[in-house]
Amino acid sequence: MKVKRTELTWWERLYLPTLINGFKVTLRHFFSWKRSEVYGDKQKEFTAKTTMQYPEEKWDVPTGYRGAPYLVKDVDEKTKCVSCQLCEFICPPKAIRITPPGDSGVVDREGAEKMPEEFEINMLRCIYCGFCQEVCPEEAIFLLEDYAINGETREELIYNKGKLLALGGADKRAYNHHVQCDVDEGIKKWETKTREAGEQPAFH
Amino acid sequence: MAAKRTEPAVETVTVKVDGCAVEVPRTMPNWQGKPEPTTVLQACKQAGIEIPHYCYHPKMPVAGNCRMCLVHVAMPGRPGPDGKAPTNEDGSPKVFPMQLPYEPGTPRGVIGCATGIVPGMEIYASSPETKEMRKAVLESLLINHPLDCPICDQAGECKLQEYSVDHGQPESRFAEVKVHKPKAVDLGPRITLDAERCMLCTRCIRFTASVVGDDALGIVNRGSYNAISSYPGQPFDNNYTLNTVDICPVGALTSDDFRFQMRVWFLKETKSLCTGCGTGCNTVIGSRENRMYRYEPRQNDAVNSCWMCDAGRLDYKWIGRDDRLGKLHGPRGNTTWPSALREISGHLAKAAEGSVAIVASARQTNEELFLLNKLAKRYKALTDSVPRNGEADHLLVAGDRNPNTTGAQLIGVTTQRVGSKLSAIVKGIVSGKIMTLIVYGEDVTQHGIDAKLLGKLKMLIVSDILPNATTRKADYLLPGCSHAEKRGTFTNVKGRVQKFTKALEPSGDAMPEWEVLHELVHNVTGLDGFNSIEGLFNQMADEVKAFKAAGLTWASLGDNGADVKL
Amino acid sequence: MPKETKLVLKHADEAGYTNDIGCYLKHGGYRTLKKAFRLKPKKVKGAVVTPQEAIRREVLASGLRGRGGAGFSCGMKWNFVNRKSGKPIYLICNADESEPGTFKDRQIIYKDPHQLIEGMILSCYANDVKLAYIYIRGEFPEGAKILNHAINEAKANGFLGKGICGTKYNLEIHVHRGAGAYICGEETGLIESLEGKRPYPRIKPPYFPAALGLYMCPTIVNNVETLCNVRNVLAMGGNAYAALGTPNNTGTRIVSLSGNVKRPGYYEIEVGKATLGELIFHKNFGHGLHDGRKLQAIIPGGSSSKVFRAGEKFDIKSKDKRGEVVEQKLDLLDIPYDFDTLMKCGSMSGSSAIIVLDDSVDIIEVLGNLSDFYAHESCGQCTPCREGSLWMAKALKRMRSGQARKGDAGYLRHIAHNIQGRTVCAFGEACSWPVLSFVDKFRDDFEQRGAEDETRLAKRGAEATTR
Amino acid sequence: MSLEVPKKLEREINRLVKNYPEKRSASLMVLHALQEEFGYISTEAEEWAAARLELKSINIHELVTFYPMLRQQDPGRTVVRVCRTLSCALAGSAKLHGHICKRLGLDADAPGLQRTKDGKYGVEYAECLASCGTGPVMMCNDDFYENVSNDGADEILKKYDE
């Protein structure tokens, strides 16, 4: 089907009116007394200014913001990811690449069986959709608050396991989630399991 | 009704499955092939309805312990004192849905895998009663299951996952502490056991005891604490252990070789053949991004049933080895296919009859051997192959360790006594009569034609996959493909011609041998063959006597192959 | 007046009666056996009836029902045996008495073993059995010794071995000891155990013992008391035996009475000739409850039977002698102790073991105790019972430790319902019936416990957070 | 390390094996005989039995782990088994078990068989010993005791003390 475009008048083709309209909006904001809600506390002391001195000033990231995906650690500062590769599978732009550990399991704690040998996220590819966070059965990957991802080379922007874990850290959000759901035992899943197994009555 | 019968009549029984009358044979072969009364499960299968099951396996004795195949059925009434079966008001035979003794009204299921069908029986394969039974069994199976699907190699091809989705319930009512059992137990050199995931269907025990004849596994402890085990200190180690990994419906038995290597949903599955011996077990290659991760047996009752040996299963690592020949070499270093083929064709065109000899390999496909034989005929060349023998066993392993000796014999590349003409080739080289030697896929220095002798040749053309003493002496080194990287057919020791397909892209300059040979044969003999494997096979099938007698075509091979008379 | 009618235990408790063959012979032992071996083939209505056939007919005519638990007709069981297979027929005496509450076979084996041996020889002769086993539970080491001794004595007296009583009939009986597994009481589990495997009951179909039993040969498995009664049937004649008890519930039966009664013990009664109330309260039997106690519940036929709550009433239908259906209203204590009435009342006579529970016992404790038993004894072969039996035990353990929930009655019912009718053998019913019946009949107890615990735990939780 | 089986026991086992048309059937009886001789069934005993009956060791191991009466470790010279099932429980078997454990210095609440340090006694609960009319009942090795009171238990245990 062909859609017929409407012809622009010469006045419209001049683009000046549109330009002026744009400036009008800018100026209205410039002289506005109303503070933007987006910048919240950062601007408490100012009365009129709505422009922020980025990057010296940073805004408060609202809850639910989907920033860069990082790997988080558990309360014992140990890796949570078990290399199930579901995020790799679900990732629409194929930004995630996991190297499974092989028979050795590459584990950093007793009771665990499997962790990734390598975990890479290509931040250039990532579209911040949050599927990885949603699909993760271990709650090991979260879209945290980082939004300014930059680097000088493409290689630099492929984050590896070490970097992702360091950036994710023992994340409060992951921890809070467990506490909110009243499963504080869950964050010590391996410990709980080992304890239960020890308490089990032997047969006979 | 006088129906014409061309086949011997099969006695049939009519039963109703979900309200539809189905006529099924009265008996069907059991796991050993002996006729036994058709079971409810088999009858439903014939009716196109799959009854979920764990412990039942068509190639093993029936155990009936998982209870997953419970179905609610109704039996026709027994004839009364007057000799007449009870009927409904409309005169149709009356059936009685099975119910619990002591508790009339509560439906009772029968296990589909062991209950024989009775004429007039009604099977409620998808009634609410049946579904409820499945739900109950699945709930029981899951209460003590560790639910560690994220780290379980079976996830994605796990029957527990599949049935839970299809027949289970979303939530469990289990509110107690789970039973803990040993995890990551080293059951044998190739197998790891996770007893918590095990659902004790005993498939592995029955397989190794009944099919392999090595009664190495058993259940220890009692009740809920039951666990599969080998005898402490006696590892589970026969040549068929890895089949237990395939038949394990859950992730209790996992292969050390595949353990934590790749999630199965990433794997591309390609139908292939095992090249470990002359049996030609049908396989499936699991690969991802041009890397092969595993072999799995593919069912073919005429060849390997559902099994394959461990040796064959692990015989794939060489395909991805780092030292694979990837560069096309000519006398003046690296070259390209067009120029190499031009030069070789040019050389061969000048060669006299009898001055060329060919050592082929019984690891090559029928098509390749056929093309080599065409070359050989042009020069009246001596051709032979190299024997590889080992010990045969009672199940699958053949004494002949070459996958295509029979093919080589039928096509005429070698005689019944494989390797008997090698000495004549040696003599020819020594006498200087043979000036050009074409070697395909064998290290001839291991078979009487040593490096010094090779130096006497005017021209040595070698095609191989991995480097060896012969490839190092080659004037022209043509990197070839493994069977996983090309298409073709093998003829197994019993004369079954089977095809395999391509799973991986060859690396570097490597090219399927048949494509190279096809070009060479065309250049040298002028014969115009076919540039597709299908066409090539059909041409071969028309020219090779045994193949022609069997009326083979590429299409007629299907997935399971076809037999030729030996 | 209800009283004991002693047939099997006629001499057992007499003063001076010992378990050696001399004493047994003095009391008329092995006389029936000798009589049976003197039987000659007879012509009845033109057909030749062999002595073996004659014995089998006699047993069928007696209406003798199995005393092990299911109450299946003994004569019928024998008739199912495949005699045309060409394979040897085996007979196994099931002396794996493990049903909680039952202790009748112990009395027979310890006090009158020769009666059992004689019954076995007769049964073997009637079924052309050349090799028979007594599977005795491991917890009866003394019993095994007594039986072995008795077998040797019988051999020495020519009742066993080669050429019994001067005939060409040979028979060997061996004693096989179990090692502490309730499941070995299930006939196919017993057969597997006897074959030296784990006693996993076989699936039926196809492995009915009558066709594919021990070593895949036709096999008869009978309870100790049943086999003793075979001897009594033949001693007094099938019809005379059938005259004892009530129609379809013939003969005598040893009732094991235990629990909260003044005089627990075993009492041999004519089947159906005493009521539950009489057995518990009559001075000839249980002699009533302990002083000041009230009846709370009765487990009428071994721990796997469904429990009766005190004060229950039943509407049952039965056929009278003319075949007319009669409706009857029965109080719990008026239920005649037989096979059929108990079944009509929703339970069973099982192995005829009555466990009496008075109002001092905690119903949840009782059920927990039984569930622990079943969780320990489940063989673990098939899924519902393997997982469900321990699940129930764990749930009850939690409830007993003060963490019951309001919904636990339904929860337990759900688990038990998952098991019953879905297992390989009757153990599934055995472990789920107590739970089902206790929960159904004492639902208020379960709910009350749940409510109490939940309130207490909630209170404690609230205190903990405010602190 | 292989098992040294006395000649007498070997003869006894040969006799037992002959009682059955198939050797495997004798498994339980052979294991009983071995346990009677050695007190428990060691790995060597399992292997010996398997070889004697022409079975695989796992076949025997399956049985030993299934039956509670077959011991894999030394249970103590005298094994005291107190019935814990319903009728005996109603008659006070828990009290009896507790009393015996206290007397022998064992933990009554610990699951499974508890062995005294000197190896003289092993105490455990057993499922129904089939004498429900005379509870509580217990067994000391092969000897059976009914209507056992706490004092009665003391008397009985004295017999096994030396």
Phi and psi torsions of B355, nearest 5°: -95, 0
What are the tens digits of pLDDT across the range A158-199?
999 999 999 988 766 655 555 554 444 445 666 777 788 888
Exposure string for B552-561, b = 16+ CB within 10 A, e = fewer:
bebeebeebb
Q: How far is CA A39 from CA A36, A46, A57, D101, in A?
A: 6, 11, 10, 72
Contact call for B218 and D58, based on CB within 8 A: yes
- Looking at the fold, whether C215 and C281 belong to one and the same domain comes out as no
Classify domain B145-320 at the CATH topology level.
Answer: Alpha-Beta Plaits (3.30.70)
Residue A204 banded pLDDT, cuts 50, 70, 90 = very low
A204: chain D residues, CB-CB within 8 Å: 68, 112-113
DSSP string of C38-56, one letter each residue = H---EEETTEEE-HHHHHH
Kindly give, in sequence order, each residue whose CB lies less than 8 Å from that of residue A73, ignoring residues fewer than 6 positions away.
A79, A80, A165, A168, A169, A170, A171
- Smallest Cα–Cα separation from B384: which of B417, B354, B412, B359? B359
Q: Average pLDDT of C423-433?
A: 95
What are the contacts of A150-154 at 24+ separation with CB within 8 A? A154/A124
Quick one: closest CA in D to A203, which residue?
D112
Alpha helices per DSSP H over C263-354: 276-281, 339-344
Q: How far apart are CA C254 and CA B220, in angstroms?
A: 37
DSSP state of B117: P
Phi and psi torsions of C104, nearest 5°: -80, -40
Q: How far apart are CA A195 and CA C145, in angstroms?
A: 46
Of all residues in chain C, the percent with pLDDT exceeding 70 is 100
Contact call for B199 and C383, based on CB within 8 A: yes
Q: Which of C198, C227, C243 is the last residue of a domain?
A: C243
pLDDT tens, position by position, for chain D (162 residues)? 588 999 999 999 999 999 999 999 999 999 999 999 999 999 999 999 999 999 999 999 999 999 999 999 999 999 999 999 999 999 999 999 999 999 999 999 988 899 999 999 999 999 999 999 998 999 999 999 999 999 999 999 999 987
Query: Residue B29 in contact with residue B38, Cβ under 8 Å?
Result: no
Supply B414's token pair.
């070698």
Q: How many domains does chain C have?
A: 3
Closest CA–CA distance from residue C417 to any residue of chain D (Å):
23
Q: Average pLDDT of B73-92?
A: 86
Residue A38 banded pLDDT, cuts 50, 70, 90 = low
Q: Is D72 part of any domain?
A: no
Contact call for C357 and D130, based on CB within 8 A: no
- Looking at the fold, whether C236 and C322 belong to one and the same domain comes out as no
A-D contacts at Cβ under 8 angstroms? 9
pLDDT reading at B296 higher than 60: yes
Residue from D58, D64, D73 to probe the interface with B (highest B Cβ count within 10 Å): D58
Helix or strand holding residue C451 (H, E) = helix C443-466
- Looking at the fold, whether C159 and C74 belong to one and the same domain comes out as yes
Domains of chain A and CATH, by start: 69-192 (3.30.70.3270)
What are the tens digits of pLDDT across the range B4-13?
556 667 899 9
Q: Which of D44, D66, D88 is the last residue of a domain?
A: D66
Q: Is D121 part of any domain?
A: yes
The CATH number that applies at residue C161 is 3.40.50.11540
Query: Residue C377 in contact with residue A204, Cβ under 8 Å?
Result: no
Contact call for A201 and D68, based on CB within 8 A: no
Q: Is C14 part of any domain?
A: no
pLDDT reading at B535 higher than 60: yes
- Looking at the fold, whether D83 and D122 belong to one and the same domain comes out as yes
Tell me how many degrees the CA angle B100-B106-B109 measures, rounded to the nearest 5. 60
Determine how many CB atoms are found less than 10 A away from the CB of residue B118: 13
pLDDT of res. C72:
94
Determine how many CB atoms are found less than 10 A away from the CB of residue B34: 8
What are the tens digits of pLDDT across the range C145-186?
999 999 999 999 999 999 999 899 999 999 999 999 999 999
Question: CB-based contact (8 Å) between C155 and chain D?
Answer: no
Phi and psi torsions of B491, nearest 5°: -115, 120
Question: CB-based contact (8 Å) between B221 and chain A?
Answer: yes
Helix or strand holding residue C133 (H, E) = strand C129-136
Quick one: closest CA in D to A199, which residue?
D111
Picking from B222, B230, B231, the nearest residue to D66 by CB comes out as B222
Classify domain B329-563 at the CATH topology level.
Answer: Rossmann fold (3.40.50)
Q: Average pLDDT of B431-453?
A: 94
DSSP string of D4-73, one letter each residue = ---HHHHHHHHHHHHTSSSGGGGHHHHHHHHHHHHSS--HHHHHHHHHHTT--HHHHHHHHHH-TTS-SS
Residue from D56, D69, D70 to probe the interface with B (highest B Cβ count within 10 Å): D56
Supply A2's token pair.
């062909």
Alpha helices per DSSP H over B290-363: 310-313, 337-350
Q: How far apart are CA C299 and CA C280, in angstroms?
A: 12
Contact call for B100 and C383, based on CB within 8 A: no
- Looking at the fold, whether D140 and D98 belong to one and the same domain comes out as yes
Q: Which of C314, C338, C358 is the last residue of a domain?
A: C358
B173: chain C residues, CB-CB within 8 Å: 411, 414-415
Closest CA–CA distance from residue A103 to any residue of chain B (Å):
5
- Looking at the fold, whether C318 and C437 belong to one and the same domain comes out as no
Kindly give, in sequence order, each residue whose CB lies less than 8 Å from that of residue A70, ignoring residues fewer than 6 positions away.
A141, A142, A144, A146, A159, A164, A165, A167, A168, A171
Q: Average pLDDT of C341-346?
A: 93
Q: Is C6 part of any domain?
A: no
Tell me which chains share at least 3 CB pairs under 8 Å with chain D.
A, B, C
Domain containing D117 equals: 78-161
B-D contacts at Cβ under 8 angstroms? 33
C176: chain D residues, CB-CB within 8 Å: 25, 28-29
Residue B78 banded pLDDT, cuts 50, 70, 90 = confident
Amino acid in the structure at residue A38: V
pLDDT of res. A186:
46
Q: Is D34 part of any domain?
A: yes
Within 260-279 of C, beta carbons closer than 8 Å to D belong to 260, 264-266
Of all residues in chain A, the percent with pLDDT exceeding 70 is 78
Domain containing C115 equals: 21-243
Closest CA–CA distance from residue B239 to any residue of chain D (Å):
18
Q: Is C262 part of any domain?
A: no
Contact call for B215 and D59, based on CB within 8 A: yes
**Tokens 């019953």 sit on residue:** C420
C299: chain D residues, CB-CB within 8 Å: 86
Q: Within 13 Å, how many C-alpha atoms sit on residue A78's CB side?
A: 17
**CATH number assigned to the domain covering B12-140:** 3.10.20.740
Q: Is C176 part of any domain?
A: yes
- Looking at the fold, whether D94 and D23 belong to one and the same domain comes out as no
What are the contacts of C151-157 at 24+ separation with CB within 8 A? C151/C117, C151/C175, C153/C20, C153/C21, C153/C114, C154/C21, C154/C30, C154/C114, C154/C117, C154/C121, C157/C21, C157/C25, C157/C30
Closest CA–CA distance from residue D39 to any residue of chain A (Å):
17
- Smallest Cα–Cα separation from B64: which of B19, B113, B109, B126? B113
- Looking at the fold, whether D85 and D147 belong to one and the same domain comes out as yes
D43: chain B residues, CB-CB within 8 Å: 232-233
- Looking at the fold, whether D45 and D25 belong to one and the same domain comes out as yes
Q: How far apart are CA D93 and CA C134, in angstroms?
A: 30
- Looking at the fold, whether C342 and C445 belong to one and the same domain comes out as no
DSSP state of B79: P
Phi and psi torsions of B384, nearest 5°: -160, 175
pLDDT of res. B3:
47
Of all residues in chain B, the percent with pLDDT exceeding 90 is 91
Closest CA–CA distance from residue D71 to any residue of chain B (Å):
12
Kindly give, in sequence order, each residue whose CB lies less than 8 Å from that of residue B147, ignoring residues fewer than 6 positions away.
none
Contact call for D65 and B222, based on CB within 8 A: yes
Q: How many domains does chain D have?
A: 2
Closest CA–CA distance from residue B225 to any residue of chain C (Å):
8
pLDDT of res. A170:
78
pLDDT of res. A107:
87
**Tokens 């929960």 sit on residue:** C439
Residue B89 banded pLDDT, cuts 50, 70, 90 = confident
Q: Within 13 Å, how many C-alpha atoms sit on residue C160's CB side?
A: 25
Mean model confidence pLDDT for chain B:
94
DSSP string of D122-154, one letter each residue = EEEEES--S-GGG-S-EEETTEEE-S--HHHHH
- Looking at the fold, whether D153 and D85 belong to one and the same domain comes out as yes
The CATH number that applies at residue C399 is 1.20.1440.230
Q: Is C462 part of any domain?
A: no
Q: Average pLDDT of B32-47?
A: 94
What are the tens digits of pLDDT across the range B126-136?
999 999 999 99
Q: Is C266 part of any domain?
A: no
Residue A51 banded pLDDT, cuts 50, 70, 90 = low
A-B contacts at Cβ under 8 angstroms? 53
Angle of helix C104-111 relative to helix C141-156, nearest 10 degrees, comes to 40
The CATH number that applies at residue D120 is 3.40.30.10
Residue from A80, A81, A85, A99 to probe the interface with B (highest B Cβ count within 10 Å): A85
- Looking at the fold, whether C128 and C225 belong to one and the same domain comes out as yes
Q: Is C422 part of any domain?
A: yes
Model ipTM value = 0.91
- Looking at the fold, whether C341 and C372 belong to one and the same domain comes out as no
- Looking at the fold, whether C424 and C303 belong to one and the same domain comes out as no
D135: chain C residues, CB-CB within 8 Å: 258, 264
Q: Is D61 part of any domain?
A: yes
The CATH number that applies at residue C297 is 3.10.20.600
Q: Where in chain B is the domain with CATH 3.40.50.740?
A: 329-563
Q: Is D1 part of any domain?
A: no
Contact call for B223 and C377, based on CB within 8 A: yes
Q: Which of D27, D42, D66 is the last residue of a domain?
A: D66
Tell me which chains share at least 3 CB pairs under 8 Å with chain B.
A, C, D
Supply C430's token pair.
């055995």
Q: Is C112 part of any domain?
A: yes
pLDDT of res. A27:
87
Closest CA–CA distance from residue A191 to any residue of chain B (Å):
13
C138: chain D residues, CB-CB within 8 Å: 32, 67, 69
Residue from B187, B206, B214, B220 to probe the interface with D (highest D Cβ count within 10 Å): B220
- Looking at the fold, whether C170 and C87 belong to one and the same domain comes out as yes
Kindly give, in sequence order, each residue whose CB lies less than 8 Å from that of residue D118, ignoring residues fewer than 6 positions away.
none
Quick one: closest CA in A to B182, which residue?
A197
